[in-house]
Structure 1
Amino acid sequence: MRATMAIIDLATPAAAAADSSADAAALRDRAARADAPLALYIHWPFCVSKCPYCDFNSHVRATVDEARWHDALLADLAHEVALLPGRRLGSIFFGGGTPSLMPPATVAALIDAATAAWAPVGDVEITLEANPSSVEAARFADIAAAGVNRVSLGLQALDDDALRFLGRAHDVTEGLGALAVAQKAFARVSFDLIYARPGQSPAHWDAELARALSFGTEHLSLYQLTIEPGTRFATEAAAGRLAIPDGDDAADLFELTRARTAAAGLPAYEISNHARPGAESRHNLAYWRYRDYAGVGPGAHGRRDHLATFRRRKPENWLAAVARNGHGLESEEPLDARTRVSEALLMGLRLAEGVDVEAIAAAGGARVEEIVDLRAVASLPELIVCEGPRLRVTDAGMILLDAILPKVVR
């Protein structure tokens, strides 16, 4: 936003009117958010091993007190339920870590508690992230019986050398076996692949992607390998032992990915996510469309009625907080209008559909030109376009999204 928004003289009639208008817009925004279905995220922080590219809140522990974790997660959920009465539930997402390591009884108890507290909207989408090991695949039937109807499988590659490089515990045969079991157990299946790996040519990725599309899943999450701070890959890259494709090569792979998936009927609906029409992840769309979501478990974030909520990150600290306070919250921070507008734009412009920039501006008590540099938008017609109230990044612009956003979002 322009700085002029922060220096209005509140003693003037015009300022009072602007303040009243902003208050009214905020009230309308709160009402709209309260009416929208709520998304629930539940974090299981444990993994069998830590992958070298992973900067998620995941931890390796020799043993896990499953009964204690069952009770603590239910208590943390109950705290959010008490603060969000009367809401409708649109989706549940079990993330991690490796949630397929959770006891199915704990999964079932959390689903039952959430759907009892918040009225489900239609067929609530209930997703669980899973590793494609044969041990975890053997539990898929029990997880489905617990109420999970969508699984997101971390295949990550369809090449054994690549899987070893990525530190994965499974090979291609085991991964595809788990995929076959998942397709029998769950109504909806997605899986992840990582591309732009060292030495990966367009021809190699094209063949791997064609194979991935042949399995007939409704959704694919296709991520470029990035070097995240604090990971083992970051250490390797700093020492000069790891180099990923440069920007031009990565852009070629990105364009190939979008063309291949679109031709197969799974166009990109978000910068890294591809789905058949109607099979998009409803839970993730709640994030990208900037809806309210409750976050439960270690390190979970949430957006609750214009508050940013943060849970304690380390599993042991979170457990201690739940035992002491009845919840694992570390902080709740109010989100002012400027922050909400910025977050809504930064999240929504990841989507192919773009954002209703007029609605976002109104919710923040601002004018469109105060939150978006329309002159900059007009100067980049091949990369970002304004069509009526909607602002969206073009296919050509998506690969440059990180560079475009600072130019157009005030």
Structure 2
Amino acid sequence: MNSSHNSKPVLNTLKPALATGPILTALPPLSLYIHFPWCEKKCPYCDFNSHQVKEGQQGFDEARYIKALITDLETELPRIWGRQVHSIFIGGGTPSLLSAKGMNELLSAVRARVNLEPDCEITMEANPGSVETEKLAGFAQAGINRVSLGIQSFQDEQLKALGRIHNGEEAKRAIAIALQHFKSVNLDLMFGLPNQTLEAAKADIETALSFKTPHLSFYNLTLEPNTYFASFPPKLPNDEEIDAIFEQNLALLEAAGYRRYEVSAYAQKDQECKHNLNYWRFGDYIGIGAGAHGKISFPDKITRQVRERHPETYMQAMETKGNALIEAKEIPSKDLPFEFMLNVLRLTDGVDTVTFSERTGLTLNVVSKALDEASKKGLLDLNPNKLKATEQGLRYLNNLQELFL
């Protein structure tokens, strides 16, 4: 990561290969990501930019942080002028620690500054341990229309092992409350948990399915660097046991009418997450807040940004410089194929072949060698009009993606 603190983005000069004219004939859809960096307790598996609030006090200055977010958004407006925002995602940390009043102030400020599509999807992540009926009603009134609940498991023993602050009954209560206030609710579930059995994994999925939420995320616990679990790894199921859990629960999900549309995402008909689909289709997104990343396309270049990670440093930078960027650069043309494939090959339907040129400005022949190799290895679908992983390609996704490095 670049450690420079320039107040203005420093973009690389265009390479000769890209200097002959515009590389993009149309700009992709645009989303907005807002990062809330605090949580009540840091989970031992979490590698996200989250900071535990101090016990016995709120631990963060809500008004100050919201003001910084609004200023941050304003600095982005010249880069996205005239474009509509089709989805907003408020992630963390635990955004549900915000007050309903604070959420309303934030979303009102966003609506006053950017042009939202009429059916804009506005998602907030929530921890079942911080869900209250009155508060969720306030979030819905503020404009949140989709909630993603970090359930992970319904079993107290597993939740304790994962360092979660809620228990199984609180998880069920949170789902019931969320379903009263939001038309779309996602449940995050994990598998491959410490000492998890096939039966326990099945019970988790069956409990989740009983609520009939329109969307489920079902992903494998991995030991990420710089986490507590990386230093003190728990006993996890072996690869064969994890495969058995996945195959069992995939069958249960499909039988219940959920379609796997991305490596870890399952939805009922027409209930896919618009915001995440935009990421996976190599769309654009403004990223505001501590540690937020952004990607914005222009006719002649595609740029990325990264902001200060620590909330205090972020707020100070916004207050003193009006800018919290620590990195702002153009993506070199040689990196675009990998960045594109890293995302789109996660989708079970893949994308139309023409999307590669539309979103990168490059011709498909720059990846022809990698496409041939992936096809020969059985990792890529042979349909010439699709860029789509096979079942084997989805199972060995890292191997497939690496071919485009």
Q: Secondary structure at the match of 2:88?
A: strand
Residue 379, structure 1, aligned to residue 371, structure 2: no
Separation (CA, whole Å) in 1 of partners of 2:75 and 2:37: 19
Closer, same or farther: CA 37–27 of 1 in aligned 2, 3 Å: closer
In structure 1, which of residues 57, 74, 78 is the aligned counterpart of residue 74 of structure 2? 78
What is residue 203 of structure 2 aligned with on the other side?
207
Residue number in structure 2 paired with 1:12? none
User: CA separation in 2, counterparts of 1:395 and 1:215?
Assistant: 29
Give the aligned partner of residue 219 of structure 1: 215
Whole-angstrom distance in 2 between the partners of 1:52 and 1:185 = 31
Q: How does 1:35-184 map to 2 (within 5 A)?
A: 36-62=28-54, 63-133=59-129, 136-184=132-180
Q: Equivalents in 1 of 2:246, 2:380: separation in Å?
A: 18
Partner of 1:365: 362
Report the counterpart of residue 13 of structure 1 in structure 2. Answer: none
- Displacement of 1:313 in angstroms is 0.2
CA distance in 2, matches of 1:369, 1:78: 37
Amino acid across the alignment from 1:75: T
CA distance in 1 between counterparts of 2:387 and 2:286 reads 27
Query: Is residue 125–residue 283 contact of structure 1 (8 Å, CA) maintained in 2?
Result: yes
Counterpart position of 1:194: 190
**Equivalent in the alignment of 2:4:** none
Q: Return the alpha-carbon distance in structure 2 between the equivalents of residues 405 and 66 of structure 1.
A: 40
Q: Distance in 1 between the 2:277 and 2:367 partners?
A: 26
Change (3 A) 1:23 1:278: farther
CA-to-partner distance for each residue in 1:286-308, whole Å, 9 max, x for gaps? 11001110000000000012111
Deviation at 1:246, TM superposition (A): 2.3
Deviates more, 1:396-405 or 1:258-267: 396-405
Conserved in 2, the CA contact under 8 Å of 1:357 and 1:368?
Answer: no
- Structure 1 residue 349 and structure 2 residue 345: aligned? yes
Query: Aligned with 1:385: secondary structure?
Result: coil
Report what 1:337 is aligned to: 333
Question: How many residues end up aligned between the 2 structures?
Answer: 381
- 1:256-335 to structure 2, matched below 5 A, reads 256-305=248-297, 306-335=302-331
Structure-1 separation of matches of 2:323 and 2:44: 31
Q: Cα offset for 1:61? A: 2.8
Mapped contact 2:95–2:124 kept (Cα < 8 A) = yes
CA shift for structure 1 position 75: 0.8
Deviation per CA, 1:212-240, whole angstroms, max 9, x where unpaired?
11111000011111001111111112xxx
- CA distance in 2: counterparts of 1:120 and 1:73, whole angstroms: 17
Is contact 1:45–1:58 with CA below 8 Å preserved after alignment?
yes
Deviations 1:83-106 (A, max 9, x none): 211110100110000000112223
Paired amino acid for 1:276:
Q
- Assess, with a 3 A threshold, how the Cα gap between structure 1 residues 263 and 87 changes in structure 2: closer, same or farther: same
- Report 1:386-405 matches (<5 A): 386-405=382-401
Distance 1:249 1:25 in 2: 50
CA distance in 1, matches of 2:390, 2:372: 17
Q: Is the 8 A contact 2:96 2:130 kept in 1?
A: no
Higher helix share: 1
Q: Tell me how far 1:253 sits from its aligned partner.
A: 2.0
Structure 1 residue 194, shift from structure 2 partner: 1.1
Q: Is the 8 A contact 1:91 1:282 kept in 2?
A: yes
CA contact 1:311–1:318 (8 Å) conserved in 2: yes
Q: Is the 8 A contact 2:374 2:400 kept in 1?
A: no
Cα distance, 1:136 vs structure 2: 4.1
Q: TM-score, normalised by structure 2?
A: 0.89
Is the alpha carbon distance of 1:23 and 1:105 closer, same or farther for their aligned partners in structure 2, counting shifts above 3 Å? farther
Structure 1 residues not aligned, in runs of 5+: 1-17
Inter-partner Cα distance in structure 1 for 2:207 and 2:314: 42
| Separation of aligned partners in 1, 2:137 and 2:163 | 27
TM-score, structure 1 normalization: 0.88
* Structure with higher RCO (Cα < 8 A, 6+ apart): 2
State the distance in 2 between where 1:154 and 1:112 align: 26
Kindly provide the amino acid, as one letter, of the partner of residue 374 in structure 2.
V
Cα pair 1:130 1:151 within 8 Å, conserved? yes
Q: 1:278 to 1:87 in 2, by over 3 A?
A: same
| Alpha-carbon offset, residue 24 of structure 1 | 4.4
Aligned equivalents of 2:200, 2:306: Cα separation in 1 = 41
Give the counterpart letter for 2:192 in structure 1. Answer: A
Q: Secondary structure at the match of 1:122?
A: strand
Matched residue type, 1:73: L
**Aligned equivalents of 2:241 and 2:399: distance in 1?**
17
Q: CA deviation at 1:148?
A: 0.2
Code of the residue aligned with 1:102 in structure 2: it is L
CA contact (8 A) 2:121 2:275 kept: yes
CA distance in 1, matches of 2:337, 2:367: 10
Q: Secondary structure at the match of 2:120?
A: strand
Distance 1:281 1:375 in 2: 31
Tell which deviates more after alignment, 207-216 or 389-398: 389-398
* Structure 2: 5+ residue stretches without partners: 1-15
Partner of 2:9: none
2: distance between equivalents of 1:367 and 1:214? 45
